[in-house]
């Protein structure tokens, strides 16, 4: 795991090109504290900050092929590199290292731009073909690792994080109001956008080729896909599918145990992370070091379940107890790493946990991220199932009562009062046949934050219909998928790609040079799960049923059958102590500072501030709006004001 940066443009003196690369890559030291590497050739420059995980002696990047005409830097891991290496050697390729990086240049020699289709991994790749004078940028299928690019000053620039681009092009430090509105609706800017005007994020599963003459070609090599209804099943019974799934998951975990440094795992106490730890044992790990987060508030805390798994597996375990004060104090540092507004504080404890993991001498952790998107684990999916059932008889008094079986983990649940639940979840019933149907209540709640935008920004969004805008980005085939498949696709492209993987995955871990690995996001697992019948994923009101069957005998029954409790953390209450705001919160959300920034309506923010200060903001909408506004003001402080200073 590492950081990469570079450019392509008119040639310059090699010393000047390297100096530019150094300015970029030094901003990514947290991603790769074990050394820097550079390559310049004509107008191309590649830079790498290394976090040494595989082939510690000879795996430094950039790495070239035998002829020295193809070079690469990459951030991530290629989990199937040993099998690829053996195939390439049989075809006559000679290797100079034992690293996974070197298979990339040889695969490119063998398969051209289709090399990326052979990789099982999480990666952001820059590859320079010196002979053809072309640059390739590629990103893994799910978007686990970030990669940004922009054209400015006669060059194309790329980097793992935006701060590396701003180090050499500070004039790019401009927020895009439309992307800000996306973040406040979908929980993150939708790719290929970023919150910075003009800076693009390479979408997951895509490869960008920049040719000698400057032409660009963007190619999607993979996407989430589902069978149309009526497609013959691959399995006769759920039990048969569960048996095959267990073998596949064991192999996905086995591949992710490859490292020349110590590996650990995150253990939340839920089904997914517990499964990963148990499968690590099944895949051959003799001892498993685990780490978890505990909270003082019962609504967020899963300590009892974590300790049950520790006892069951006999793990050496470390628990980080995270308080509201810890979250409030660390939030500015988290936003600086996230480089974008966020609507939740959940990434902060994960950043603090990564710090604990690093201090314990570990570099790599396996986690259960992605299982809910892949196997239908969120209450949102069951909620949509109930709402569709209800919509068939909208006058029914009994069908909406099924909503009462959801969100039991919330202290202020939207289903506590039947009338309120029917009002909230009844929103958007007119969109029943649209692929965004399941997400209308969540997006409607999130969009509450747009009310706090400055009047001139709000006016510019008057004609923006987020539902129609988002639907235009969906593949035509989605119309032929099952309702659950449509819900899963939208969830994978919004919450997972735009929020979870960057803000609860890559950025908080890499803030302390920790590499996270996600077995449930192995593309083979995703393709397997996508082919399953919907009712094998959600059986009645039981989520992830086929996964639970696959884990029989590996986990304690109370863990295997436990209802999903999403990982969450205290939000706006983390920024006040006894009714008094933290110093930076008072400063950034003061009327003068709000007006100077120009993003929000100072009077509206002041009313929300007072509501939170006095403990009256208990709903999701107010919590998300407060965190979103504060994080936007921190982005403004770190990236806009300081760039202009």
DSSP one-letter string for 326-346: HHHHHHHHHHHHH-S--S-ST
Is there a single domain that holds both residue 481 and residue 368? yes
Is there a single domain that holds both residue 207 and residue 258? no
Average pLDDT value over all residues in the chain: 92
Is there a single domain that holds both residue 214 and residue 235? no
In a domain, 424, yes or no: yes
How far apart are alpha carbons 190 and 354 in whole angstroms?
26
Task: State which of 198, 220, 242 marks the end of a domain.
Answer: 220
- Point out the residues that are catalytic: 2
In a domain, 442, yes or no: no
Is there a single domain that holds both residue 255 and residue 203? no
Taking the CB of residue 67, how many other CB atoms lie within 10 A of it? Answer: 10
Is there a single domain that holds both residue 279 and residue 263? yes
Range of the domain at 251: 224-435+474-567
In a domain, 461, yes or no: no
How far apart are alpha carbons 36 and 22 in whole angstroms?
9
In this prediction the pTM is 0.95
Residue 415 has pLDDT above 60, yes or no: no
In a domain, 111, yes or no: yes
Structure token digits, residue 387: 């709402």
Please give the pLDDT value at position 283.
86
In a domain, 449, yes or no: no
Structure token digits, residue 534: 């919907």
Is there a single domain that holds both residue 586 and residue 607? yes
Is there a single domain that holds both residue 137 and residue 262? no
Is there a single domain that holds both residue 271 and residue 132? no
User: Which tens digits make up the pLDDT trace of 362-411?
Assistant: 999 999 999 999 999 998 999 899 888 887 777 666 676 666 666 655 55
Q: Where are the beta strands (DSSP E) in 28-154?
A: 36-41, 44-50, 63-64, 70-78, 121-129, 134-139, 148-152
How far apart are alpha carbons 38 and 7 in whole angstroms?
12
Please give the pLDDT value at position 564.
80
In a domain, 62, yes or no: yes
In a domain, 285, yes or no: yes
User: Which tens digits make up the pLDDT trace of 292-343?
Assistant: 999 999 888 898 889 988 988 888 999 999 999 999 999 999 999 999 999 9
Q: Identify the weakest region by mean pLDDT among 20-29, 138-147, 413-422, 517-526.
A: 413-422
User: Which tens digits make up the pLDDT trace of 157-169?
Assistant: 999 999 999 999 9
| pLDDT tier at 413, thresholds 50, 70, 90 | low
User: Which tens digits make up the pLDDT trace of 151-197?
Assistant: 999 999 999 999 999 999 999 999 999 999 999 999 999 999 999 99
Residue 232 has pLDDT above 70, yes or no: yes
The CATH code of the domain that includes 35 is 3.60.20.10
How far apart are alpha carbons 438 and 434 in whole angstroms?
9
Task: State which of 522, 548, 567 marks the end of a domain.
Answer: 567
Task: State which of 550, 567, 584 marks the end of a domain.
Answer: 567
Structurally, the chain folds into a number of domains equal to: 3
Is there a single domain that holds both residue 623 and residue 490? no
């Amino acid at each position: 795991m590492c950081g990469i940066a570079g450019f392509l443009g008119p040639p310059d003196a090699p010393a000047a090109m390297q100096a530019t690369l150094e300015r970029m890559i030094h901003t990514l030291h947290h991603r790769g504290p074990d050394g820097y590497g550079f390559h310049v050739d004509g107008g191309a420059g590649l830079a790498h900050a290394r976090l040494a995980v595989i082939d510690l002696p000879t795996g430094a990047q950039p790495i070239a092929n035998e002829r020295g005409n193809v070079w690469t830097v990459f951030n991530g891991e290629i989990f199937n590199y040993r099998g690829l290496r053996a195939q390439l050697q049989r075809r006559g390729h000679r290797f100079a290292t034992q690293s996974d990086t070197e298979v990339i240049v040889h695969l490119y020699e063998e398969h051209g731009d289709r090399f990326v289709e052979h990789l099982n991994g999480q990666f952001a790749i820059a590859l320079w073909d010196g002979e053809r004078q072309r640059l390739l940028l590629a990103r893994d299928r799910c978007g686990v690792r970030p990669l940004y690019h922009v054209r400015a000053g006669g060059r194309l620039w790329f980097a793992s994080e935006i701060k590396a681009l701003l180090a050499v092009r500070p004039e790019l430090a401009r927020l895009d109001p439309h992307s800000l509105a996306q973040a406040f609706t979908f929980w993150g800017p939708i790719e290929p956008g970023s919150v910075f005007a003009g800076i693009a994020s390479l979408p997951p599963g895509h490869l960008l080729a920049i040719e000698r003459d400057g032409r660009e070609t963007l190619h999607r090599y993979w996407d989430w896909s589902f069978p149309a209804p009526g497609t013959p099943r691959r399995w006769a019974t759920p039990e048969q599918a569960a048996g095959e799934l267990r073998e596949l998951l064991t192999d996905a975990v086995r591949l992710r145990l490859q490292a020349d440094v110590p590996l650990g795992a995150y253990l939340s106490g839920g089904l997914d992370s517990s499964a990963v730890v148990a499968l690590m044992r099944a895949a051959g790990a003799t001892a498993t070091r685990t780490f978890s987060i505990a909270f003082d508030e019962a609504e967020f805390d899963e300590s009892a379940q974590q300790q049950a798994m520790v006892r069951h597996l006999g793990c050496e375990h470390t628990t980080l107890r995270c308080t509201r004060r810890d979250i409030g104090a660390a939030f500015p540092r988290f936003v600086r790493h996230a480089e974008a507004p966020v609507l939740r504080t959940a990434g902060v404890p994960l950043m603090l946990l990564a710090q604990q993991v690093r201090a314990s001498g570990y570099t790599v952790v396996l986690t259960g991220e992605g299982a809910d998107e892949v196997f239908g684990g969120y209450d949102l999916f069951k909620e949509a199932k109930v709402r569709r059932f209800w919509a068939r008889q909208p006058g029914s008094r009994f069908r909406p009562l099924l909503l009462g079986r959801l969100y039991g983990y919330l202290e202020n649940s939207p289903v506590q009062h039947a009338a309120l639940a029917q009002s909230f979840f009844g929103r958007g019933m007119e969109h029943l046949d649209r692929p965004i149907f399941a997400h209308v209540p969540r997006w409607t709640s999130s969009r509450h934050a747009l009310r706090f935008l400055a009047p001139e920004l709000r006016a510019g969004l008057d004609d923006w219909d987020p539902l129609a805008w988002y639907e235009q980005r969906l593949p035509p085939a989605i119309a032929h998928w099952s309702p659950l498949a449509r819900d899963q696709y939208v969830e994978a492209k919004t919450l997972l790609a735009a929020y979870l993987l960057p803000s609860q995955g890559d950025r908080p871990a890499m803030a302390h040079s920790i590499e996270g690995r996600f077995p449930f996001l192995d593309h083979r697992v995703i393709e397997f799960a996508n082919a399953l019948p919907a009712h094998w994923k959600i059986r009645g009101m039981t989520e992830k049923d086929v996964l639970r069957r696959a884990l029989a005998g590996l986990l304690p029954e109370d863990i295997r059958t436990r209802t999903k409790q999403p990982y969450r953390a205290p939000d706006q209450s983390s920024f006040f102590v006894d009714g008094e705001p933290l110093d930076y919160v008072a400063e950034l959300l003061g009327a003068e500072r709000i007006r100077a920034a120009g993003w929000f309506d100072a009077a509206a923010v002041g009313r929300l501030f007072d509501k939170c200060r006095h403990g009256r903001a208990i709903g999701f909408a107010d919590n998300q709006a407060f965190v979103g506004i504060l994080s936007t003001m921190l982005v403004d402080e770190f990236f806009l004001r300081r760039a202009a200073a």
